[in-house]
């Protein structure tokens, strides 16, 4: 089952997943409403530009305690739902930044193609 994430009840769970993988967590207000959770095991969200022409699929994560089989099944469901949303609103280009090789292969199964591989991910966090 895939559902829209709930800012009030899901944040602590998502935070524990990101931290469980050794990643920094986002502040709750930085996560867009366009996020989905599948099988209480995987999460991903879309940042959509104001004109609806471009989206970023980001913060894709699984419960680090989940079985590999459930994690992959749930990731597939999240990615399918996010890509279906882009089609519903007319977004044609979806971009994502990732470094996990198995996740890259999973994205490719969903139609993603590799872009630049020699990049540096940079973040600016304002006051």
Closest CA to 76 of 116, 114, 105, 47: 105
pLDDT in tens, 33-80: 999 999 999 999 999 998 888 999 999 999 999 999 999 999 999 999
- List the CATH code of the domain at 2-109: 3.40.630.30
Binning pLDDT at 50, 70 and 90, where does residue 108 land? very high
The model's pTM: 0.92
Residue 78, class by beta-carbon neighbours within 10 Å (0-12 exposed, 13-18 middle, 19+ buried)? buried
Angle, vertex CA 33, rays to CA 94 and CA 39, nearest 5: 85
Domain edges within the chain:
2-109
């Amino acid at each position: 089952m895939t559902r829209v994430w709930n800012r009030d009840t899901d944040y602590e769970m998502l935070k524990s997943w990101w931290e469980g993988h050794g990643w920094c967590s986002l502040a709750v207000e930085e996560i867009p409403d366009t996020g989905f959770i599948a099988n209480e095991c995987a999460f991903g969200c879309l940042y959509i530009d104001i004109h609806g022409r471009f989206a970023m699929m980001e913060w894709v994560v699984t419960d680090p305690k989940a079985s590999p089989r459930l994690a992959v099944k749930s990731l597939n469901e999240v990615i399918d739902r996010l890509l279906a949303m882009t089609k519903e609103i007319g977004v044609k280009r979806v971009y994502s930044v990732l470094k996990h090789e198995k996740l890259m292969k999973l994205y490719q199964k969903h139609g993603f193609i590799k872009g630049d591989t020699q990049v540096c991910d940079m973040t600016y966090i304002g006051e």
